[in-house]
């Protein structure tokens, strides 16, 4: 059973959190999460500074130690399950798992190289405030 505890705006989890180290190939290192309180409940927002895109955050809950939430990167389709807890005044432990979406093709028997055409991503995706989304690869 899941419980959500009331929290105050001065809770130590409140603030903007980022990954301090840079690791080649890790796309999530450009994401900042901001935790605030609204109506005695945690509110989480996130932005990916590599693509200047807001992540979609939902299912925020707090069990007295961990704040947990789901995240979705609209341009990549990557979804995540996230957990944060305080370990020191200015440090949190951040645990996460993510799911990437891929399209796979059936290989025909005897074929050495079978070409597979992926469905096209929809064009014209927008943030919650109506700004056009730009993928990280298109921005460079």
Question: Is the per-residue pLDDT at 139 higher than 50?
Answer: no
Residue 140 in any domain: the answer is no
Residue 2 in any domain: the answer is no
Residue 6 in any domain: the answer is no
Q: What is the pTM of this model?
A: 0.69
Read off the pLDDT band of 19 (50, 70, 90). Answer: confident
* Segment 73-92 mean pLDDT: 93
| DSSP states of the chain | --------TT-TT-EEE---S--TT-GGGGEEEEEEEETTEEEEEEEETTTTEEPEEEEEEE-SS-EEEEEE-TTT--EEEEEEEEEETTEEEEEEEEE------PPPTT-SS---PPPPPPS--B-TTSPBP--HHHH-
Q: Which residue has the higher pLDDT, 67 or 89?
A: 67
Residue 9 in any domain: the answer is no
Residue 55 in any domain: the answer is yes
Residue 1 in any domain: the answer is no
Residue 113 in any domain: the answer is yes
What is the tens place of the pLDDT at every residue in 98-119? 887 788 888 888 767 666 666 6
Full domain range(s) for residue 29: 15-131
- Mean pLDDT over all residues of the chain? 81
Indicate the number of domains in the chain: 1
Question: Is the per-residue pLDDT at 9 higher than 60?
Answer: yes
How much is the pLDDT for 47?
95
Residue 35 in any domain: the answer is yes
How much is the pLDDT for 60?
96
């Amino acid at each position: 059973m899941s419980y959500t505890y009331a929290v105050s705006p001065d809770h130590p989890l409140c603030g903007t959190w980022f990954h301090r180290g840079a690791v080649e190939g890790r796309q999530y290192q450009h994401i900042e999460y901001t935790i605030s309180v609204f109506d005695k409940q945690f509110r989480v927002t996130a932005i990916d500074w590599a693509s200047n895109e807001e992540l979609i955050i939902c299912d925020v809950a707090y069990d007295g130690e961990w704040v947990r939430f789901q995240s979705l990167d609209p341009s990549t389709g990557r979804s995540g399950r996230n957990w944060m807890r305080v370990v020191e005044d200015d440090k949190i432990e951040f645990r996460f798992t993510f799911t990437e979406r891929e399209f796979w093709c059936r290989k025909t028997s005897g074929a050495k190289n079978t070409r597979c055409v992926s469905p096209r991503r929809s064009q014209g995706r927008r943030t919650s405030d109506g700004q056009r989304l730009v993928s990280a690869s298109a921005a460079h």
